[in-house]
A and B are shown apart, each in its own frame.
Chain A
């Protein structure tokens, strides 16, 4: 049995699905945010795997850009969560219904 791309891609799919389950089930906005980070990392693992086995150096550059965008996204997202917390005294997403109707 040799270590091929399928192993890494399967792990990546599993991590992505765990992230999806976290986003769909939890109500704490911070944990939903962490699940999104988990999904981004699962996709990064796929990129590096394809870059390694094709082989193509572009895969790693894409991961680099995803990391830069993720850093910006985390900063803005956490700022939104802090602002919501100041208004609602809670980070429960079910209580944030400002934009519904």
Chain B
């Protein structure tokens, strides 16, 4: 039963991932990427990681993909974004490189196939168990991540401003004097 659910979810995830890189319209790509993320969230639940599955939906399928859609609609892209002006050599070499990497990965998986499998620990993915690990062993990285996010916000605002920050300061001084 579980294996049927896995196969269906995995096939949807793979098909929509292929759609992401082959669609002409970036909007369609974003929507297929959301579908891929939802499928991965289903797999997280099957792996007993409920909290991570919720984070996947809220952060990835929610926040990050909305950001993508927002920028896409802001840019109002025109012109050819599709396959027709990509050279066949580029497509062939790109997929060949990806295929070679897949070959290496599968070969490694075969040698690593003798992994010892433990039973499912239903407590591991709950918010309380997750919080125990996060706020005890990983407290410092957690705080550093918050500084990283703050830095990203400030960096984005500085980058998007039309006028350089120095010019903006001069303007203010000019008005005062």
Contacts and interface: CB of A to CB of B under 8 A. Distances in A.
Contact of A64 (B60, B97, B124, B134): B134
Given A17-B98, A55-B121, A34 B68 contact: yes
Interface in A62-101: 63-65, 67-76, 78-83, 85, 90-92
Given A30-B26, A31-B20, A83-B159, A91 B60 contact: no
A17 B101 contact: yes
Contacts of A19: 17, 21
- Chain B interface bracket (under 10, 10 to 19, 20 to 34, 35 or more): 35 or more
Interface in B110-160: 113, 115, 117-118, 120-121, 124-125, 129-130, 133-134, 137-138, 141, 145, 148-149, 151-153, 155-156, 159-160
Interface string B1-44: 01100100010011001101100001001100100110010011
B130 A57 contact: yes
Contacts of A18: 14, 17-18, 20-21, 98
A74 B155 CA distance: 12
B145 A69 contact: yes
A10 B105 CA distance: 8
B176 interface: no
B90 interface: yes
A3 B67 contact: no
Interface residues of A, number: 71
A40 B99 CA distance: 18
B6 A67 contact: no
Nearest to B82: A28
Interface string A21-37: 11111111011011101
A86 to B, nearest CB: 8
A78 B90 CA distance: 25
A10 B52 contact: no
Interface of A: 1-11, 13-28, 30-31, 33-35, 37-38, 41, 44-45, 48-49, 51-55, 57-58, 60-61, 63-65, 67-76, 78-83, 85, 90-92
Given A48-B49, A61-B130, A83-B160, 18 more contacts: A7-B3, A13-B105, A15-B17, A19-B21, A24-B90, A28-B81, A34-B29, A44-B52, A52-B124, A53-B118, A60-B52, A61-B133, A63-B55, A65-B145, A76-B152, A78-B68, A78-B71, A85-B75
